[in-house]
Chain A
Amino acid sequence: MNQTPKPNSFRSGPDEDGRFGIFGGRFVAETLMPLILDLQGEWEKAKNDPTFQQELAELGAHYIGRPSPLYFAERLTEHLGGARIYFKREELNHTGSHKINNCIGQILLAKRMGKTRIIAETGAGQHGVASATVAARFGFPCVVYMGATDVERQAPNVFRMKLLGAEVKPVTAGNGTLKDAMNEALRDWVTNVENTYYLIGTAAGPHPYPELVRDFQSVIGKEAREQILEAEGRLPDMVVAAVGGGSNAIGIFHPFLDDEGVQIVGVEAGGRGLQGVEHCASITAGSPGVLHGNRTYLLQDHDGQILEGHSVSAGLDYPGIGPEHSWLHDIGRAEYVPIMDQEALDAFQVLTRLEGIIPALEPSHALAEVIKRAPKMRKDQIILMNLSGRGDKDIFTVAKILGMDM
């Protein structure tokens, strides 16, 4: 797996076929191929079009609320007694997470391509809400596929999507989680390929999605890099983010990949432990395979059948991971570690009490890793963590687990 020589830059991928080393690619039905090639062509043009970039920047500033603040978590730092901890506060974005960065970018692409209908998949509902939001803003009809299990555990987001005018279609196939929603969205797309734009929510799927989603999310890392230089006069020692499909993580990681002194840590959902199948730690406990248009690390059995993972956090409940993460793992540029459900829940409460910030359960995983590492680091060292979403959507889940009556 490690034949790939170390590149001069870690930021030059993917190649023209959408490969990051052996990962990525375009594993899709022929029906979708022409459209995917069109999308790639349109993306190449848009990338270098000042009008497109300006529109993106303006919507970023006035609609999303960018740049998001970089916040020094003083009390948490004191409490842990080690490295200085900074949060990139993506949870303050419009719609409550980093997902909107990508949705604004892709809806502008859909508009350029003359598409008239938007479909999306969603796990926690954050991407569904962000998709429904931009669809409303730009006047597109929008269908969101969501696993039936997730519909149940993320009721507030389902209601938000409906308010925004989207149609939420519950998917009962499989375990009714993110992977099943993605299958159903792909089936819709194959059927309605002429007029429909598939707004993928994470840095995975067939090329060019992993690249374009990363580029739209890289605004996180670009801002954070400037902000930390301004605040501390130097780069952080470590950047930490939670990884499901991995869009918030690649967004904050990517601008730091060529900064040699910056350690990169991705945090996977360890669920109830890695021994069985009740986790979503694709890199830590999975193996390379092909699903949803790309080759990447997957949770699968010896016959190549995809397993249903488990995580307390619906947003991390996916048996795969973006292909660029798989590559960064294989070449050793980034480290991926698991955090268990309980550790994430504990971290969730620590942050709420110490900083007055209710984080989503997804970044609570990243936080749990920060809580482990910071005390072992020197007081002059710096950790930058992506606080990718707010926890309002998770309060019902957490209340249930903590045995509180709402």
Chain B
Amino acid sequence: MTVRMDNRFAALKAEGRPALVTYFMGGDPDFDTSLGIMKALPGAGADIIELGMPFSDPMADGPVIQMAGQRALKAGQTLARTLDLAREFRKGDNETPVVMMGYYNPIYVYGVEKFLDDALAAGIDGLIIVDLPPEMDDELCIPALKKGINFIRLATPTTDDKRLPAVLKNTSGFVYYVSMTGITGSALPDPSLVSGAVNRIKGHTGLPVCVGFGVKTADHAKAIGAAADGVVVGTAIVAQIAGSLTKDGAAGPDTVASVATLVKGLATGVRAARLVAAE
């Protein structure tokens, strides 16, 4: 569904601040705990939720998210169970946009049409599929757009002006600018370079531009949020979850609460970023 996403960005624009986009891995460390985390995110200040779909071979992810995926798979997470998470979450929240993020193969094996129908029914608003560049749009992007699910594309520092129009062509919801070349969890990029890149993308599209990769603290969120329509935080949240687990990888007593605390801090940063005007 696309309306929740549009409404959310319209409301943020009225508020004059960037979105806080939070990523966590579905099923990490187990189904129930990750449902608890998901439910706690909006209250802690998350504006958009990225729901990670675990994959055995996450080629663009650093060790923190790789291990989260392995924990989830070990606990029995599947694509069907990740859709269950979204469905459960929607019972209590019909406002917060939920974007599923991961790799293509589990969706391909599940069946593209069936997946899109089930995702729509589960209240999914968008998809970010790391290994589907525009050259592969016929696979999932076009079918998703036809069903009314946003297909959010990644743009990177290697996406030059010649290529940007192709990347943006079938993008909807927002553009996810990956602020550096590298795997998830790498160091924070220079905020001044980020604002230049965001402006470059905005020269080609009216869509909101959210920036990720390397944001770990409220100060980072504030700095990046000054230049962008949204700040994506992933690895820091997943690392917080990992740090809260017991020795054998089970949920700790404060796993959900500690994530909420981290997100509250990030939300403060985002709210301090105060865009003068969204345009």
Q: Do B178 and A30 touch across chains, with their CB atoms under 8 A apart?
A: yes
Judge if B66 is at the interface, Cβ distance under 8 Å: yes
Q: Do A30 and B59 touch across chains, with their CB atoms under 8 A apart?
A: no
8 Å CB interface, A275-320 against B: 287, 289-293, 295, 298, 300, 302-306
A194 CB contacts on chain B under 8 angstroms: 181
Q: Do B132 and A27 touch across chains, with their CB atoms under 8 A apart?
A: yes
Judge if B167 is at the interface, Cβ distance under 8 Å: yes
Q: Do A291 and B158 touch across chains, with their CB atoms under 8 A apart?
A: no
B199 CB contacts on chain A under 8 angstroms: none
Judge if B246 is at the interface, Cβ distance under 8 Å: no
Contact among A25, A193, A304 for B105, CB-based, below 8 A: A304
Q: A173-B66, A300-B109 are in contact. Are A30 and B159 (CB under 8 A)?
A: yes
Query: Interface size on B (CB < 8 Å)?
Result: 43
Judge if B95 is at the interface, Cβ distance under 8 Å: no
Judge if A232 is at the interface, Cβ distance under 8 Å: no
B110 CB contacts on chain A under 8 angstroms: 303-304
Chain-B contact segment, one of A110-118, A148-156, A184-192, A246-254? A184-192
Contact among A33, A295, A303 for B135, CB-based, below 8 A: A33
8 Å CB interface, A167-213 against B: 173-174, 179, 183, 186-187, 190-194
B104 CB contacts on chain A under 8 angstroms: 27, 290
Q: Do B136 and A34 touch across chains, with their CB atoms under 8 A apart?
A: no
Task: Mark interface residues in B133-148 (1 if CB within 8 Å of A CB, else 0).
Answer: 1111000000000000
Q: Do B59 and A187 touch across chains, with their CB atoms under 8 A apart?
A: yes
In the assembled complex, the CB of B173 is this many whole angstroms from the nearest CB of chain A, namely 16
Q: Do B108 and A190 touch across chains, with their CB atoms under 8 A apart?
A: no
Instruction: Determine the distance from Cα of A295 to Cα of B140 in the docked complex, in whole angstroms.
Output: 14
Judge if B272 is at the interface, Cβ distance under 8 Å: no
Instruction: Determine the distance from Cα of A28 to Cα of B159 in the docked complex, in whole angstroms.
Output: 13
Judge if A29 is at the interface, Cβ distance under 8 Å: yes
Contact among B60, B106, B108 for A29, CB-based, below 8 A: B60
Q: A31-B156, A34-B163, A290-B131 are in contact. Are A193 and B109 (CB under 8 A)?
A: no
A26 CB contacts on chain B under 8 angstroms: 133, 135-136
Instruction: Determine the distance from Cα of A304 to Cα of B129 in the docked complex, in whole angstroms.
Output: 15
Instruction: Determine the distance from Cα of A289 to Cα of B109 in the docked complex, in whole angstroms.
Output: 7
* Residues of chain B having any CB pair with chain A under 8 Å: 55-62, 66, 73, 78-80, 103-110, 130-136, 153-160, 163, 167, 178, 181-183, 186
Further contacts, 4 of them, CB under 8 A, given A27-B131, A30-B167, A303-B79: A31-B178, A291-B57, A304-B107, A306-B105
